[in-house]
Each structure stands twice: as structure tokens, then as C-alpha cells.
Structure 1
Amino acid sequence: MKRRTFIKKTAVSGLACTFPPVLTLNSDPDYSILELMGKAEIELFGEGINLREEAYKAFIKMKKAAFTDGFDIKMVSSFRDFYRQEGIWERKYLRYTEDDGMQPLEAIDKIIEYSTIPGTSRHHWGTDIDIIDGNPKVSGDVLVPEKFEDGGPFMNFKAWLDENSESFGFYLVYTDEPKRRGFKYEPWHYSYAPISIPMLTAFRKKNILKLLQNEDFVGCEHFTTGFLKTYIQNNILDINRNLL
């Protein structure tokens, strides 16, 4: 097992619950706000995997089981710090407003179809993964729902995950439940519940609204109190109920 340590980068801004018996939660979590927002140093494990140790070990077990059944789990994205998420947000905001001519609020609504506000991403925690099957030959963007549906290259892989992922502690986050709001359906995004549930619980105890109002990145000047309250309720909390 290769152990790595994430080193905090300097921020650069151009403009400014029911579970299976096998699921054991961290009953006494102690997570700082910097850790929850992706601004702290955390230990990451696995070259190209980059998860907390317990999540890493569970992922390796799932990967081996999938390989036995003919699937080669490939990590598309795992840990992502605040500053990387900030860069993703600002690139999209500037592209939508400057290149595509969108109004600021329209651009923000477009961004939060799939991308989080910096500081609120579950990928900050070292518990969440975006995964695909490495066996099929696929062109273009791999993280699109259609490629996990009937006739898509990852159809069989998704069926395997539906049947097996929870036995390793990994739960789909943004489901295709018709009444679910917030981020769109992401059949590739799974969360290691034994750690992510306590982290979300700790995050909910913080004043998330105030924390976001204190940030300074491109586009955040258009965040109203009403928008942020709706974002917290829909995008952070309207997820797979087994992860709350």
C-alpha cells in the first residue's frame, strides 16, 4: 500500500438511515471545518486512488471483486481539494459568462447541474469516487448518464455496482429518484458511507451559509441568502437517503 500526504496549496483566484449489518460508522467523529471544506492536510492512500485509508482498503476489495467478475474499475476522480474545485468553478463560470454570453445567475444554475460550490464538494472528504469500467473502448466524455444506461458501454458495470457496491460500503450519491432535487443523476459517483455519513453530519452542524458567504471566488458575489439556503437543502442534502 502506498501512502501519500496531501499538501495544502496556495489559493489563486483571478477575480477574487438504514444500513446493512456490515456497515459500521465512525461513532465519534472530530472533523475540523478546514477538513470538511477541503482546506486541510489529510492522509491519502493509493497511487491514483487518493482516499482515506479505510475507504482505500474497501475500494481495493471492491476492485478485486469486480475484476473477478470481468470488470476493471478505473478511478476518474476521488479526492479533490478546495482550490482545485475553485479552479473548476471559475473556469466554468468564465466560460459560460464570457464565451457563451450567459447572465451570471444563469451561469451559476448551469454550473450546479453537476459541479459543486467550492468548499461543499463531497470529494473534499477523501470518501467519494467517480468510477467507470476500464474494459470497454469509449470515446468522448465518460461521465455521462447515457453510457451507464441500457445499450451504453458501462451498462453491465452499473448493474454489477447496483448489486454489489453497498456490500463494500459504497453507496450511489445522486440517484435517479424522480423527486430528488439538486445535482443531476450521476451513476458514476459513489461514497464510502462509514466515513462520509459522519462527515456530512459534522458539516451540517456548521453554519454552512455563513461559511460560503465568507468565501471570495469568481461569481460568488451573486450568491444571495435565498440561493445559498436552497443550494444547501437541494444540492448538499437531497441525496441518497442512506447517506444521511
Structure 2
Amino acid sequence: MLKTFLYLFAILNIVACKNERPSKSVTEHAQNIIDAAPDTAILNYLMGHFIPDSNENFVLIQPKHANRSGMYLRTEAYEAFNKMYDAALKDGIKLEIISATRNFDYQKGIWERKWSGQTILSSGENASLDFNNDSLRARKILEYSSMPGTSRHHWGTDFDLNNLENAWFEKGEGLKLFNWLEKNASLYGFCRPYTRKGDARPEGYNEEKWHWSYTPLSDSLTEYASRYLTNEMISGFLGSQTSEQINVVHNYILGIDHSCNH
């Protein structure tokens, strides 16, 4: 069933010179977007080709919500996070955003440092030295890091919370926080895209207990990516030639938990 793509219509305002009230309903306009040919502006947005701090659809995350300054989210996602943050705090849970929107250039830096071996992988391996096959090298990095142009962090809908180690969420304070999120995050529109891999989610990144996504926006963006984003579009960085071999759009962008793909 086709979604209404309500928020894709709003995304068009990112690149519009001015905003004009449509004569048709927003739903009709959004439906027209998905039925029409691929829109370059939306595709560029999906691939992170924009600057969050100069975009009116993004808002700066307040210091009390983050472990560092200078991070941004889509306004709608941040408003929902604020409500979830306050509810969690009442239950003795302190949510802290440690990573939010990352555009293409930011993600390119992360990826290329791992590709070149400047950053050692979480497994302790050097991707540049330990893998002589480019496809295997890319897949190893893709266990926890996205190729530039494919990260959900590009969208301003996703963020990482509190810690980047699954083990932290399996005991003590981390387990208490994780259990609260599993029970309550959906009430505020959030899902966890990278659950444990298995029959229900055979492809994609390894489990990330810290990564959460705002579905009222990310659902439509995921659907748009599934229709119009191609492996050939994923380019402009070291190792990008592997995107087609790996089928990165299908296996990684779309390799998410069903709760994040309504």
C-alpha cells in the first residue's frame, strides 16, 4: 500500500526558493511526488548533500540533551525527542544524544578513515591491511558504519543514545535505559531500525541498541529510497565501486526491522 508521503512534500521546501501554499491537499501533493519521476532535490537530501546548520527544517540540539555541542535534528524529530526525554526523566532515565544528523561529507570522513586504516575497526582489524578484497573490506566496515550517501543519519530523523557499545545496554544503568526505550519509545514515534540479525532481518548492519529513528518522517523517506535510490548513485568516496556488488541500497538502507518499515 502506498503511503501518503506527507513529509516528503515538506522536504521539497528544503530546496525551494520560497514556500507557497498548495491549492490541493498536502496528501494529494505528497502522492503526486511518489507517483512522479524521481526528484533530484529529494534524492540529494536522502544522500546527505546539504548543510544542516543552514537549513530551516533543522534545529540545534540543546546542551542538556547531548554530550557535545553542534548537533542537529529535523525539528519534528527533536520535538518528539523532547517529549520522550521528559517522560524518561520522570522515570529516572537520562537520555543523551551522542550522534545525530551527519551529512554526506561528515559520513565520508568516517568511512574513508576506516577504509584507509586510519581508524581501526571495532573488531580490532585494519580494513586497509587485513582485507585484500574490496567487497569484503566494505562489508566489514558496513557492520557498523554506513557508506556515504546511505546513512539514515543523513535524514535528520535518526540519532544514537548514550553509548555505542551493545554490551553497555545489557546490564545496570544501560539495561534499565534500554528496557525503558523498548517499552516506551514507540509512544513518541521512535523505532529501533537495527535489531538483532536473523530470519526477520537477514541483511544490513549489525545490531545497534543505541540507534533510534523517528518513523513519522523516516517511513516515507525509506519508501522513497526503495523506489528511486539506486546503487549507481552511491559514489564520490573511496570504495564506492563496491556499492553495486554489495547491493547497498537493498541490503543496508532497506535492511531494517519491520517496526521501522510500516
Mapped partners of 1:67, 1:61: distance in 2 = 10
CA shift in 2, pair 1:224/1:62, >3 Å: closer
Q: CA deviation at 1:28?
A: 5.6
| Aligned pairs for 1:73-222 within 5 A | 73-95=95-117, 96-98=126-128, 100-103=129-132, 104-132=134-162, 142-149=163-170, 151-179=171-199, 180=201, 181-212=203-234, 215-221=235-241
The one-letter code matched in structure 1 to 2:131 is: M
Q: CA deviation at 1:225?
A: 3.0
The one-letter code matched in structure 2 to 1:159 is: N
Q: Greater share of helix residues, 1 or 2?
A: 2
Question: Aligned with 1:191: secondary structure?
Answer: strand
Q: CA deviation at 1:51?
A: 1.0
RMSD: 2.1
The one-letter code matched in structure 2 to 1:62 is: M
Residues 127, 141 of structure 2: 8 Å contact kept: no
**Structure 1 unaligned residues grouped into runs of 5+:** 1-16, 18-23, 133-141
TM-score by length of 1: 0.78
Q: CA deviation at 1:102?
A: 2.5
1:234 aligns with 2:251: yes
Question: Aligned with 2:8: secondary structure?
Answer: coil
CA shift in 2, pair 1:163/1:97, >3 Å: closer
Number of equivalent positions: 206
Q: CA deviation at 1:29?
A: 1.7
Mapped partners of 2:147, 2:243: distance in 1 = 13
Higher relative contact order (Cα pairs below 8 Å, separated by 6+ residues): 1
The one-letter code matched in structure 2 to 1:146 is: A
The one-letter code matched in structure 1 to 2:245 is: G
The one-letter code matched in structure 2 to 1:163 is: K
Q: CA deviation at 1:163?
A: 0.7
**Structure 2 unaligned residues grouped into runs of 5+:** 12-41, 63-68, 118-125
1:12 is aligned to: none
2:21 is aligned to: none
Residues 127, 140 of structure 2: 8 Å contact kept: no
TM-score by length of 2: 0.73
The one-letter code matched in structure 1 to 2:240 is: C
Structure 1 ranges of 4+ moved more than 6 A? none
Aligned partner (choices 225, 234, 243) of residue 244 of structure 2? 225
Q: CA deviation at 1:97?
A: 4.2
CA shift in 2, pair 1:224/1:237, >3 Å: closer
Mapped partners of 1:201, 1:64: distance in 2 = 31
